[in-house]
Amino acid sequence: MKRWKQTLLAGLAALLLCALLPAALAAGDGGAVLRAEAGGAPRGGTAEVEIWLDNGVGIGGGSLDITYDNTALELEKVIPAALGGALVQVNEHYTDTSARLSFASSQALGEGQILLCTAVFRIKETAPLGGSAVTLENARLYDVTGGLQESGVADGAVEIQYAGLTVSSVEAVRGQSVRVELLLDGALRPAGGSFEVIYDPEQLTAGGAVAGELLDGCSLVSNGTEPGRLRVTWAGSEALKAGGVLCTVTFHISQEASGTPEIGLENLRLYDETAAPLDALAAGGTITLLTPTEESPKLWIVGGGIDPDTCTASVDVVLEGRGVICGGGFTVDYPEGVTLLSAQSLADFGEVNTKETGNIVFAWAGEAASVESQRLLHLEFQVSDANISFPLTLEEARALDGGGNPATVVDIRSGKLLPGGLKYQAPAVDELAVRDVNGGTEIDLVLDMASASQVPSLLAQPERSLLLALYENGVLKAVMLQEFAVELDANGIAQVSVSATLQGSGDELRIFLVGEGAALVPLSEQAAYELEVAGV
Length of the chain counted residue by residue: 536
Q: How far apart are CA 386 and CA 475, in angstroms?
A: 24
Q: What CATH architecture does domain 163-290 belong to?
A: Sandwich (2.60)
What's this model's pTM, rounded to 2 decimal places?
0.60
Q: What region does 396 belong to: left with phi over 0, alpha with psi -120 to 50, or beta?
A: left
Q: What is the DSSP string of 50-76?
A: EEEEES-TTEEEEEEEEEE-TTTEEEE
Query: Which helix (H) or strand (E) covers residue 331, if one does?
Result: strand 327-333
Per-residue DSSP letter, 404: S
Exposed e or buried b per residue across 63-93, where buried means at least 16 C-beta atoms within 10 angstroms of its C-beta: bbbbbbbeebbebeebebbebeebbbbbeee
Domain(s) of CATH 2.60.40.680: residues in the chain: 2-160, 163-290, 298-419
CATH of 2-160, one of 2.60.40.680, 3.30.70.20, 1.10.10.10, 3.30.420.10: 2.60.40.680
Query: Which helix (H) or strand (E) covers residue 296, if one does?
Result: none
* pLDDT digit string (tens) for the chain, length 536 residues: 333 333 333 333 333 333 333 333 333 345 899 999 999 999 999 999 999 999 888 898 999 999 999 999 999 999 999 887 788 889 998 999 999 999 988 888 877 899 999 999 999 999 999 899 999 999 999 988 888 988 899 999 999 999 999 999 999 888 777 889 999 999 999 999 999 999 999 999 998 899 998 998 899 999 987 999 999 999 998 999 888 999 999 898 887 899 999 999 999 999 999 999 999 999 999 999 998 877 788 888 877 778 888 999 888 898 887 778 888 899 999 999 999 999 999 988 999 999 999 999 999 998 777 777 788 999 999 999 998 989 998 877 778 887 877 776 888 888 888 875 333 344 455 555 555 555 556 666 665 554 444 444 444 444 455 566 666 665 665 656 565 555 656 665 556 666 666 665 566 666 655 543 333 333 222 223 333 333 33
Q: What is the DSSP string of 227-248?
A: TTEEEEEEE-SS--SS-EEEEE
Q: 298-419 — its CATH code?
A: 2.60.40.680
What are residue 55's phi and psi, to 5 degrees?
A: 55, 45
Q: 428-532 — its CATH code?
A: 2.60.40
Beta-strand runs (E) in 199-326: 204-211, 219-226, 229-235, 244-253, 262-271, 277-278, 280-283, 285-290, 298-303, 305-306, 312-320
